[in-house]
Amino acid sequence: MNEQTIKAFIDSRQKASENTKLAYFYDLRAFVTFLEGNELTQTQLNLYQLELQSLAKSSQHRKITNINTFMKYLYQNGKLAHFFEMHIVPYQHQELQDNDQRQPKLLDVSQYYLQVKKPGDLIALLILEFGLKPSEIQSLKWSEFNWDFKILTVATGGIKRILPIRDKFARLVRPIKNADELFSKSRQFLHYELKKTSTLTSAELREQYILQRVAERVSIYDLAKNLGLKSIHSLDKYYR
């Protein structure tokens, strides 16, 4: 099992939507990574199913269903000598929706869009608008903000992400002339300046970015791509 067999499987699902194909890719790549080239056995499957138990039942159900479909495809095409499958986890769609204490809250962040007069104001907006970590803000350059095409290019770990710039962000931030000076500062400086502006930490502001995108019905796969994540596991709890 490798990414080549995953691609062949996804290509065979011609009627699947793009979101479904992305779900197959993320779920199957995580499964193949777990196997680490070891021979597939029922014991390996049981161990992987135990690892999935920390996720919501709905997420477990999707991943197990996708993996079982993949293994059936491999067996039918002579890639597996034996047919294996994991036990399907039943779930109810509304299982956690009434548990408000466990659900992250979408807050009113309109106060952050009133002005940009201090470094902390800009830092907060960069997190709220693009979901950036302080380390990613440090790697920014003012030239990467393309105001004509309304896109921001973020390059981290050798991967480039192209993120849309919204009008309300552009109106506040475009007049700034010395942003590169801020981007060159230490992470400690960024956290210190953010505290002067916000009662929320950088992690809490990043979570508000995620919650805003979820409320806008951005798919979990598009959101993972925008955040530069290698898997969707950390986002599952926001889509319960």
90-122 residue pLDDT tens: 655 444 444 444 568 899 999 999 999 999 999
- What pLDDT is stored for residue 178 in this prediction? 84
- What pLDDT is stored for residue 118 in this prediction? 94
- Segment 43-63 shows an average pLDDT of 85
As a whole-number percent, the residues of the chain with pLDDT over 70 amount to 94
230, 157 contact by CB (below 8 A): no
Q: Each residue of 141-167: pLDDT tens digit?
A: 999 999 999 999 998 877 889 999 999
- Segment 83-93 shows an average pLDDT of 73
Give 231-234's long-range contacts (Cβ < 8 A, gap of 24+): 231/26, 231/29, 231/30, 232/26, 233/30, 233/55
Report which of 211, 224, 237 is spatially closest to residue 56, judged by C-alpha positions. 237
- What pLDDT is stored for residue 101 in this prediction? 46
Q: Each residue of 187-216: pLDDT tens digit?
A: 889 999 999 999 999 999 999 999 999 999
Q: What is the mean pLDDT of the chain?
A: 88
Its CATH architecture, for the domain 110-238, is Orthogonal Bundle (1.10)
Pairing of strands 145-146, 159-164: unpaired
pTM over 0.95: no
Looking at the DSSP bridge assignments, the partners of residue 152 are 145, 163
CA–CA distances in Å: residue 132 to residues 63, 65, 121, 212: 28, 33, 14, 14
